[in-house]
Structure 1
């Protein structure tokens, strides 16, 4: 497949009119044809590796992954399984060159996730068992044989965990057989795995032995563990030792199931590893304990001898500092107690002098005024106490409502900012959609182009026959142009005046609404948080103004027709009152009053 064919295929796949099913069919047919043609090419043609590299670099394989990850409803699951198989085949033997790191760390994991996700969807449909088997063995298995580093990604994948958690014995057996086939086909597969990946694979096999009771699953798991032991040898010893009680589990649950020979071999391997590990561990532990104890004791002795003088001097310095600090604290406490005692004595003396002065003043007062004086003193004391109590209560209320008021103010400011931005956006949008200014030629509505050309021709013929002796045609055209400019400027000024009038009317309406709210506002002593929110928010004034306008419209509909005219039966005085009331927004109260004997 040449570069032109690849670009043409990519262009067809990126076409928006192409639905998901057609895109999958196109990808399947194109990839199958390209792989078959590359396999049949002689040595001089395009090799399979070069073709796969071109497919990756051109982005066709990325489109395959996108199609596999599609969440739309799929009807042809066979085509999806075939596409997954072809995608995995194209990923085997690719030579990405300078894009090698992105190919192995990003692209291949995405391909594996897409294939495992498709396998999970096929597993949940009983009629797609053959496609599921093909996807797991032919697609996932083949890709793992070539790309060993994907094993850790597969074993830790959420899609593979969902497949493992399936209760179907056939699914579990298929997964175990897939790993056995990979290990048997590629002898270097297990040796290239990391310790973490090997532990995950071993954990899966032993987990199936602990959870499943099917003989086929148990035999496959035991064969997989023996295959790992034969290939890894010494690397498997510390991993097997982490599974305590494995030999008892095998002897208790799986003996007499038809694979006793493999079972005995695995039990002997586990027990031999345990005996070797126990003897080695005990000897190594004793030697390590002796070395650690000797090193620790020598370190403690050297440290004690070296830091003895420094410890003594540090202890003395801290003791002296502590004693000096305690002495200073005692001095400070004594001065505070003496100051408190002097303040108490002075207050007591001042109170005694005040009471003596008050008693002398009471002795000077007449007897009939003593009771009234005492009552006045009690009243003033009560006023002072009440003022302090009310001040304390108002401060407490203000402190509780301050946070709420601040949040309300911030929300209102944010709402005003958003509204201002939306209004500016709408004005710019309307200005962009506004039709352009009218041309100088103002024609009649309904005229066609042919009729307008005919009228223009008749006007030109009339002007040519009846030429003016005072004004030349050039001056007529210039005069016509000036008149059109004046007309256009006058229309623009009129539009600006209309906008200014609308803005003025809006400001007047807002002012009248605020005046109405202030007129009907409750006193400050009974104001609640809800009333404060209504005054802080502009929505309350708008609501009140709309309610007043609605009530006025309803009242106007109930009036007789002659009351809606400019003049009423009362004469010009009633019309003047109506104009004043409309101008002041309902604040004017009409009436008559007598001045110098005349009604005004």
Structure 2
């Protein structure tokens, strides 16, 4: 056992010694960390001592290597755009090291910095179509970290980077986010029960928001699955869907029936309607109008926030559209001008031909002898 621990310490010391080389640029450090951390973790994982891996992860933290990883992840991703894969791999390894580690008294601040780094990287990857697989990899790392450290959920929901991810219109990004929460709830049976009531309501709002704003069947099916998973694990602690999301049952019947997951839709509608008190039709109509007004106001405010946040992109799009329209108008004007010039030249040519014809006729007439 002591020999196994000494082997891990030697690998960590060697990795730290190599990282002390000040001539290395950030990209070289990331490649070295990916190789070194893989070697250290694999060496500990294949040992018979079950507690060795946890001790190795703690040693990586106390040696300062994990802090260096977080520093690279937080400050240098934008400079490594040509090597996003290596950066995503580093994020994956950092998350793995934080699951089961014992960082000590300052763990909360360190774990918060790890989560900030992961979300910052994810927000940069989501806007690149070719990097969506890496975005999924980083969000999987976020899921592992949340499953092991539930208290970080509040940080995720209050994060500006995660809000930026939520505002993304890409269907794949929305689906990956919902699947991330499903995976977290599945991996940790205590995840939902350890959440505060506010965090549970925020998670429900994210799923319901996707049902209200998305028309994609995969996103809708995943959102319904997440709500059913929360209902199954939380039981009576689940916030009232009828009180917090009025009209959700009608939305499910209207927009999501017949989309390939009717059983889940019917189950969720049954849960909602089991909460619903018996009210007369007039009261229900009044509540529907009020709910519709609230939804419309929320939707308008959501659109306004999104427009403000995406103002630069909107301005670029408008400028691009204006330039395209101007170019199209100029091309049309040039084509029209060329057509008019062609018609004018053709008209002149015909007039000249007619004049030449008449001149030849007159010349021929002049050659005839005068009539008697």
**TM, length-normalised to structure 1:** 0.43
Shift of 1:42: 3.0
1:320-364 per-position Cα deviation (integer Å, ceiling 9, x unaligned): xxxxxxxxxxxxxxxxxxxxxxxxxxxxxxxxxxxxxxxxxxxxx
2-structure distance, mates of 1:265, 1:158: 34
Tell whether the 8 Å contact from 1:145 to 1:182 is kept in structure 2 after alignment: yes
2-structure distance, mates of 1:239, 1:12: 55
Shift of 1:22: 0.6
Find the counterpart in structure 1 of residue 128 from structure 2.
125
Find the counterpart in structure 2 of residue 13 from structure 1.
19
Q: Secondary structure at the match of 1:275?
A: coil
Q: Say yes or no: does 1:53 pair with 2:53.
A: no
Tell whether the 8 Å contact from 1:199 to 1:239 is kept in structure 2 after alignment: no
Q: Say yes or no: does 1:73 pair with 2:73.
A: no
1-structure distance, mates of 2:266, 2:122: 35
Q: Say yes or no: does 1:25 pair with 2:27.
A: no
- Gaps of at least 5 residues in structure 1 are 279-600
1-structure distance, mates of 2:151, 2:75: 26
Greater Cα offset, 28-37 or 177-186? 177-186
Tell whether the 8 Å contact from 1:38 to 1:46 is kept in structure 2 after alignment: no
2-structure distance, mates of 1:237, 1:121: 34
1:490-538 per-position Cα deviation (integer Å, ceiling 9, x unaligned): xxxxxxxxxxxxxxxxxxxxxxxxxxxxxxxxxxxxxxxxxxxxxxxxx
2-structure distance, mates of 1:35, 1:87: 11
**1:262-277 map, 5 Å:** 262-275=264-277
2-structure distance, mates of 1:206, 1:140: 21
Q: Say yes or no: does 1:93 pair with 2:100.
A: yes
Find the counterpart in structure 2 of residue 64 from structure 1.
69
Shift of 1:12: 3.1
2-structure distance, mates of 1:220, 1:84: 25
1-structure distance, mates of 2:201, 2:243: 11
Q: Secondary structure at the match of 2:277?
A: helix
Q: Say yes or no: does 1:84 pair with 2:121.
A: no
2-structure distance, mates of 1:5, 1:180: 36
1-structure distance, mates of 2:123, 2:117: 10
CA RMSD in angstroms comes to 2.1
1-structure distance, mates of 2:159, 2:210: 18
Cα distance change on mapping 1:256 and 1:53 into 2, 3 Å: same
1:266-301 per-position Cα deviation (integer Å, ceiling 9, x unaligned): 1121121122899xxxxxxxxxxxxxxxxxxxxxxx
Q: Secondary structure at the match of 1:17?
A: coil
2-structure distance, mates of 1:185, 1:55: 25
1-structure distance, mates of 2:195, 2:121: 25
Q: Number of aligned pairs?
A: 272
2-structure distance, mates of 1:235, 1:119: 32
Cα distance change on mapping 1:158 and 1:240 into 2, 3 Å: farther
Cα distance change on mapping 1:265 and 1:92 into 2, 3 Å: same
Tell whether the 8 Å contact from 2:182 to 2:226 is kept in structure 1 after alignment: yes
Runs (4 or more) in structure 1 with deviation over 6 Å come to none
1:49-101 per-position Cα deviation (integer Å, ceiling 9, x unaligned): 000001111111000000101245102111111111111000011123xx23x
1:214-235 per-position Cα deviation (integer Å, ceiling 9, x unaligned): 1111111111111111111111
2-structure distance, mates of 1:68, 1:175: 21
Tell whether the 8 Å contact from 2:8 to 2:40 is kept in structure 1 after alignment: no
Q: Secondary structure at the match of 1:73?
A: helix
Q: Say yes or no: does 1:35 pair with 2:41.
A: yes
**1:247-258 map, 5 Å:** 247-258=249-260
**1:514-593 map, 5 Å:** none
1:374-413 per-position Cα deviation (integer Å, ceiling 9, x unaligned): xxxxxxxxxxxxxxxxxxxxxxxxxxxxxxxxxxxxxxxx
Find the counterpart in structure 2 of residue 110 from structure 1.
113
**TM, length-normalised to structure 2:** 0.69
Cα distance change on mapping 1:129 and 1:209 into 2, 3 Å: same
- Gaps of at least 5 residues in structure 2 are 1-6, 281-372
**1:68-467 map, 5 Å:** 68-71=73-76, 72-74=78-80, 75-96=82-103, 99-100=104-105, 102-103=106-107, 105-137=108-140, 139-238=141-240, 241-275=243-277
Tell whether the 8 Å contact from 2:165 to 2:173 is kept in structure 1 after alignment: yes
2-structure distance, mates of 1:184, 1:277: 37
